[in-house]
Amino acid sequence: MTEMTVTSPTLLDAQATERSRRVPGGLVLSWRQFEFWLVLFRRTWRGTVLTAVFGPVMYLTAMGVGLGTLVDQNRSLPGGVSYLSFIAPGVLAATAMQNGIFEGSFNVLGSLKWHGNYWAAVNTPQRPQDVMLGTAMQGLMRIFAMSVVFFGSMAGFGTVHSAWGLLALPASLLTGAVFLFGMMAYSVTIDTDQPLNVVFRFVMMPLFLFSGTFFPWQQLPAWMHPVAFATPLWHGVELSRELTLGTPDAGSVLIHLGYLFAALALVYWLARRNFRARLYLDR
Amino acid sequence: MSEPSASPEVLIKAEGLIKTFAKKNSEPFTAVAGIDFEVRRGEVFGFLGPNGAGKSTTMRMIGCVSPVGGGRLSLFGLDPNTRGPEIRARLGVVPQEDSLDLEMRVRDNLHVYGRYFGLPRPVIRERAQRLLEFVQLADRAEDKVEPLSGGMKRRLTIARALINDPEILILDEPTTGLDPQARHVVWDRLYRLKQQGTTLILTTHYMDEAEQLCDRLVVMDKGRIAAEGAPRELIERYATREVLELRFPLGEQEQAAEKLAGLGSRLELLPDRVLVYADDGDAVLSEARGRGLEPLTALVRRSTLEDVFLYLTGRTLVD
């Protein structure tokens, strides 16, 4: 055993080394980072899938069927839709936001502080932007998977009223992406999980409650309207709702999409910049 | 890349290398203040110096994870600021903190790392087995990393750094925090790598480590290079063959030092002892006794790099 050498013994091995010296372009490096997350996911997928399926079903039952029965007696929702049909697309978008924020927080902080995988990765051909994008890919995958499951339950409860509704899936992915990249841009700058709890309580919860998810935004006091219009979630909720109710209006859809894509471009740029600053300079 | 290279081949070249960190509300901090060095293929090159000397910052620039702040640095003839990923593909890095995933199994840590280099799975599998045997961890391959001892974790980090068959292995304080036995195992493995012709760069603040492993080294202090050469060369240049270490009762050291004046080629007063540099320590000791000095303890030893460092900076290495 002590006579072991570490030099390459075979031609195949030497060829592999030769190939590993050439650094690929495009998204290959980011994909390798994504693969790392898939290895982790294989360990934890069971728990994730269970929550993903039971969460929405319980939610729609309690809010829509339970609470909704009381609300619907007043028949006061715009367009006369049922309360369940009203909140379901809102919760779809809000859940995407929530998943985006979660996926962009502990994964990043844990990789920096507890698991060390980011510090390991930067000693390989991985660049900070690959680390960032690969991590984001797994977040997007989860956001999308959870959205699909939720959308399935929504359809099961009869709240998808048009074929347009299918487009609520990419819309919620877009909404989730804005929060994912934004949260990643922030998480990569911190050193403890204290600030994360502040974000969950004082950013995520208010957004969840006041972005027109559970009641029409028109019910808010007038001074809060501009605040609602300024949040990405409001645009995500409205977009998602127009699609599942089958009432998309070209003008407002374009405004929502424009807003969300502009926000995405901004937070993507921020995430890229902050990952570089942290992973290349800080230590 | 096709620069005409003198033999032996120069792999790393630094000229006037600088790194400055911006600080909030104060002057920028200069960690590396203009250093020159060359590392040639097949040699073991050391950066020796106390904490805060700029060793780790230099290592991070060499490892292309910290942009070059000024001056010039090239690895394999490439510029780290623009060709980082290509250079890193040819490096193996053992960072100061192991950065292992503690919840993953030993073998999986090697696997995910190998994938970052785009190595095919069968190649990684074969290499992981070979490398785990090399670092004497084959029997722990299926265990989680968490319960491994500090020495085992460090060896695993070394195995991981070798997964891409690197041309240069960079080790930042490879044995800091390990117990003496674990240090010897690491040294033994590094020595084997050296014999197989791997180029090694290491930082350390342990004299014995530098003396045992390094073909050439630079002594760093406050961001600058204080001296450069082979360990024996440096000792010959800056120290005498032997050192006489004398301890005196509390408060008597000053007077004793006065009486010692003129003995050996140089005196060094430390808080707890007096060092007399001389080629024949025993002769100096009897001379001192002849002058009526009665030290509590007297020790004659060979000069080490510690003495070189003390001479160059007026300070001991591990404060």
Q: How far apart are CA A22 and CA B17, in angstroms?
A: 27
Indicate whether B57 and B171 sit together in one domain. Answer: yes
pTM to 2 decimal places: 0.88
Alpha helices in chain B (DSSP H): 55-62, 80-88, 106-116, 121-134, 150-161, 180-195, 207-213, 231-238, 253-260, 281-290, 305-313
Most A-contacting residue of B55, B59, B76, B112 (CB-CB within 10 A), to test interface = B112
Q: Name the more confident of A6 and A143.
A: A143
Residue A223 clears pLDDT 50, i.e. is over it: yes
Confidence of residue A9 (pLDDT cuts 50, 70, 90): low
Minimum-distance CB partner of A116 among B97, B115, B193: B97
Mean pLDDT of all residues in chain A?
A: 89
Which structural domain range is residue A249 located in?
27-70+82-281
Looking at CA atoms only, how far is residue B148 from chain A in angstroms?
15
Q: Which residues of A touch B133 (CB under 8 A)?
A: 1, 4
Question: Which amino acid is located at B271 in the chain?
Answer: P
Domain boundary among B235, B251, B279: B235
pLDDT digits (tens, 9 = 90+) for A60-99: 888 877 888 888 877 667 777 888 999 999 999 999 999 9
Indicate whether B228 and B245 sit together in one domain. Answer: no
The string of DSSP codes covering A25-58 is -TTHHHHHHHHHHHHHHHHHHHHHHHHHHHHHHH
In this prediction, residues A156-172 reach a mean pLDDT of 94
Cα B119–B125–B128 angle (5° rounding)? Answer: 95
Question: Which amino acid is located at B28 in the chain?
Answer: P
Most A-contacting residue of B116, B192, B196 (CB-CB within 10 A), to test interface = B116
Token digits of residue B104: 């993953």
Which structural domain range is residue B283 located in?
240-302
- In 3D, which of B226, B198, B231 has the Cα closest to residue B214? B231
In this prediction, residues A153-182 reach a mean pLDDT of 95
Confidence of residue A135 (pLDDT cuts 50, 70, 90): very high
Residue A46 clears pLDDT 80, i.e. is over it: no
Domain count along chain A: 1
Q: Residue A33's closest chain B neighbor by CA?
A: B116
Position A17 in a domain: no
Q: Which residue numbers in chain B have pLDDT < 70?
A: 1-7, 316-319
Q: How far apart are CA A133 and CA B201, in angstroms?
A: 32
Position A18 in a domain: no
**Interchain CB distance below 8 Å, B63 and A28:** no
Lowest-confidence segment of A1-5, A106-110, A136-140 by average pLDDT: A1-5
**Interchain CB distance below 8 Å, B95 and A29:** no
Q: Residue A129's closest chain B neighbor by CA?
A: B85
Indicate whether B70 and B52 sit together in one domain. Answer: yes
Q: Residue B58's closest chain A neighbor by CA?
A: A283
Q: How far apart are CA B165 and CA B76, in angstroms?
A: 15
Minimum-distance CB partner of A5 among B113, B138, B196: B196
Most confident listed range (A30-34, A202-206, B188-192) = A30-34
Q: Which residues of A touch B89 (CB under 8 A)?
A: 20-23, 124-125
Residue B230: CATH number of its domain: 3.40.50.300
The string of DSSP codes covering A221-263 is -GGGHHHHHHSHHHHHHHHHHHHHTT---HHHHHHHHHHHHHH
Residue A229 clears pLDDT 70, i.e. is over it: yes
Residue A3 clears pLDDT 70, i.e. is over it: no
Looking at CA atoms only, how far is residue A16 from chain B in angstroms?
6
Most B-contacting residue of A124, A129, A283 (CB-CB within 10 A), to test interface = A124
Torsions phi, psi for B47 (to 5 deg):
-110, 115
pLDDT of residue A2: 43
pLDDT of residue A236: 97
Position A111 in a domain: yes
Q: What share of chain A is helix, strand, coil (3-state, %, to 5)?
A: 80, 0, 20
Q: Name the more confident of A281 and A271.
A: A271
In this prediction, residues A238-252 reach a mean pLDDT of 94
**Interchain CB distance below 8 Å, B165 and A29:** no
pLDDT of residue A4: 52
Residues 6+ apart with CB under 8 A from A261: A174
**Interchain CB distance below 8 Å, A119 and B84:** no
Looking at CA atoms only, how far is residue B130 from chain A in angstroms?
7
Minimum-distance CB partner of A116 among B99, B111, B198: B99
Looking at CA atoms only, how far is residue B244 from chain A in angstroms?
40
Residue A241 clears pLDDT 60, i.e. is over it: yes
Domain count along chain B: 2
Position B316 in a domain: no
Confidence of residue A7 (pLDDT cuts 50, 70, 90): low
Residue B291: CATH number of its domain: 3.30.70.980
Position A247 in a domain: yes
Q: Which residues of B touch A41 (CB under 8 A)?
A: none
pLDDT of residue B42: 93
Minimum-distance CB partner of B66 among A29, A127, A280: A280
Position B317 in a domain: no
Whether the complex's predicted ipTM is more than 0.90 is answered with no
